[in-house]
């Protein structure tokens, strides 16, 4: 049975997480957007805020509802907590005899409890689990962060103008990957349990079981959020996109999008699944040691395709093509999934408003606009 967590109990949730040793992160308004930062009091949540998102545009505005999660995702997903923008992988030290010792450098910080991850964020995390943990040589830093993360998801009650998770089947309601999932209704949240850790946490708060009317109200909020979406990925983001893309590598649309694209890499930085990175060496001043680090990179940087004396993707057209054909196409060959979870971040945070659903629609010959629901039903 789901539970009901009243607004007045939200601080008890934060206190319980702190007592279990977690550093609690939650959404807050900062610099004109909503980002995750240290959360010590429910007052810090974005009460009464709503976002207006369009291609290349994000604005916060006051909502008529005095709710804490009545907004769609901001620029961050879970990715920066698990696959950090910059992180040490290992270090090497030279002793007095000149022998080298290699040592692992695992992170050292408190476990994190993240409140407010959305269903697309959980889907992005599941994709990154496949890409970074799969196989014999899983990323040990990612694994460490993953094992030290507790996720309290919040189901969306509102979809932003660039959300299309319905067509990618990744939202707006979270179905897995969370410890607890909250749905905001009047005066509080309906809480679903997703793990033993979540069960222990909710038991410690002595919440009442949710009543039938509260459960129905929560279900309706997810339906409302789904019905707000106006955008979709052609072919429902399926494997079919792979062949469409690979059969259209000379399509004139690539050149058209390249004329608009700035090769800035914003889209890859905000994407919850992009994992391109490079590795750098940081020697100590005395020359007796060095730290080997990993830093985010992007298929939009020149250097990322530098191989044996030349830049392989030397034009913006080649870089955009690499991004889209990998994310929506050949990702299926490597990881048996699409690399897109329908969060819409790359559309919102692209400075020139390039929309990958529009680009895909132009190549696939299928619309990226959701058919009006009434029209669909009739």
| Residues at the interface with ligand SF4 (CB under 6 A) | 261-267, 270-273, 300, 327, 340-346, 350-352, 354, 356
Q: Give kind and range of the element (H or E) at residue 362.
A: helix 356-364
Instruction: Please tell me the distance from the alpha carbon of residue 185 to that of residue 172, in angstroms, as a whole number.
Output: 15
Report the residue number, 114 or 193, with the smaller CB distance to ligand SF4: 114
Closer to ligand SF4 by CB, 51 or 67: give it: 51
Q: How far is CA 239 from CA 170, 195, 339, in A?
A: 15, 31, 11
Which residues are within 8 A (CB) of 188 and not within 5 positions of it... i.e. 6 or more apart? 4, 5, 6, 7, 9
CB 160 to ligand SF4: min, Å: 11
CB of 139 to ligand SF4, least distance (A): 19
Closer residue to ligand SF4 (CB): 9 or 168: 168
CA distance 85 to 121: 17
Q: In this structure, what are the phi and psi dihedrals at residue 222, rounded to the nearest 5 degrees?
A: -65, -40
Separation between Cα atoms, residue 139 and residue 84, nearest integer Å: 12
DSSP 255-286: HHHHHH-----HHHHH-SS---EEEEEEE-TT
Nearer to ligand SF4, 85 or 351 (CB): 351
- Please state the length of the chain: 378
Query: Which CB sits closer to ligand SF4, 66 or 334?
Result: 334
Decide whether 241 or 293 has the Cβ nearer to ligand SF4.
Answer: 241
**By the 8 A CB rule, do 324 and 316 touch?**
no
């Amino acid at each position: 049975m789901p539970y009901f967590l009243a607004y007045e109990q939200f601080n008890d949730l934060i206190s319980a997480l702190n007592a279990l040793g977690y550093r609690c992160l939650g959404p807050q308004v900062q610099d004109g957007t909503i980002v995750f930062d240290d959360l010590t009091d429910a007052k810090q949540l974005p009460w009464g805020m709503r976002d207006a998102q369009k291609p290349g545009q994000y604005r916060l505005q006051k909502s008529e509802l005095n709710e804490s999660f009545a907004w769609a995702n901001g620029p961050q997903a879970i990715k920066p907590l698990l696959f950090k923008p910059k992180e040490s992988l290992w270090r090497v030290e030279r002793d007095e005899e000149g022998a080298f010792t290699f040592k692992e450098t695992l992170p050292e910080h408190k476990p994190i409890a993240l409140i407010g991850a959305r269903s697309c964020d959980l889907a992005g995390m599941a994709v990154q689990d496949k890409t970074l943990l799969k196989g014999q040589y899983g990323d040990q830093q990612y694994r460490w962060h993953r094992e030290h993360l507790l996720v309290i998801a919040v189901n969306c009650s509102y979809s932003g103008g660039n959300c299309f998770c319905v067509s990618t089947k990744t939202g707006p309601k979270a179905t897995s990957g969370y410890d607890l999932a909250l749905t905001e209704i009047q005066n509080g949240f309906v809480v679903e349990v997703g793990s033993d850790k979540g069960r222990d946490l909710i038991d410690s708060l002595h919440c009442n079981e949710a009543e039938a009317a509260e459960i129905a109200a929560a279900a309706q909020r997810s339906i409302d959020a789904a019905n707000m979406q106006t955008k979709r990925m052609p072919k429902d983001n399926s494997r079919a996109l792979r062949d469409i893309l690979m059969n259209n590598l000379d399509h004139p649309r690539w050149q058209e999008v390249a004329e608009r694209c700035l090769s800035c890499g914003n889209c890859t930085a905000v994407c919850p699944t992009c994992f391109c990175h490079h590795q750098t060496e940081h020697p100590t001043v005395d020359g007796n040691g060095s730290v080997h680090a990993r830093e985010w990179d992007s298929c939009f940087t020149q250097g990322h395709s530098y191989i044996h004396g030349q830049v392989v993707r030397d034009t913006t057209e080649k870089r955009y093509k690499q991004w889209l054909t990998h994310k929506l196409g050949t990702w299926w060959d490597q990881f048996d999934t699409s690399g897109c979870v329908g969060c819409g971040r790359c559309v919102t945070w692209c400075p020139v408003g390039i929309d990958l659903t529009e680009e895909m629609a132009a190549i696939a010959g299928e619309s990226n606009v959701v058919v009006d629901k009434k029209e669909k039903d009739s």
